[in-house]
A = this chain, B = another copy of it.
Amino acid sequence: MIRYPKGMGPSVQTKKPKKIKGLQENSYKNRGMSLENEINLTNDYYLTRQRALIYKRPTPINVVKVDYAKGAVITKAYFEKQSTTDYNGVYRGRYIDFEAKSTLNKKSLPVANISSHQLIHLQEVIRHGGIAFFMINFQIHDEVWFVKAESILEAINERKVKSLSYQWIESHGYKIPISLQPRLDYLPIIDQLFF
């Protein structure tokens, strides 16, 4: 009989893993942040490998009061409401601009999740020849989809849909391969669609 170090053998685990109360909710609750993290890690990977230069836009904040005596601590400020999209940058000389959305819904992404400012902004990006798209994360399916902003603008502006169904995204989008390095390898989709 092979004696494995404790906990490393092929034996069937009989003890049920302890359930940590609230973990399920938490893991879902934090996935919005998690998608952001995955994208940031992907962009860091692209940056260090000199593949592309794509950044998260800082959240626009309206600073009202700063305490310089304490070393420039902001003591009063507000989040600005009219923000544009989450990410922009440059890839192969072209301007890249995209918005990331995450949903707990199984079957659709409600259009209410997308602000009109974002739609107007992406429309302008397209007008000026930039590459505009959405990354849509269906948390339940553990999938992230690349959907061209053109398709989403057409659905919302022309067909006035109130939600983007999973089926529609499946047929109009491109599933982003998930790996460790990079987490979400979306540049090959851009190569294929825009170059």
- Residues in chain A within 8 A of chain B (CB atoms): 47, 50, 52-53, 55, 57-61, 63, 72-80, 84, 88-97, 121, 124-125, 127-130
Contact = CB atoms under 8 A, between A and B. Distances in A.
B61 A58 contact: yes
A48 to B, nearest CB: 11
A77 B59 CA distance: 13
Contacts of A92: 128-129
Contacts of A77: 61, 73-74, 77
A94 B93 contact: yes
A97 to B, nearest CB: 7
Nearest to A123: B53
B72 A128 contact: no
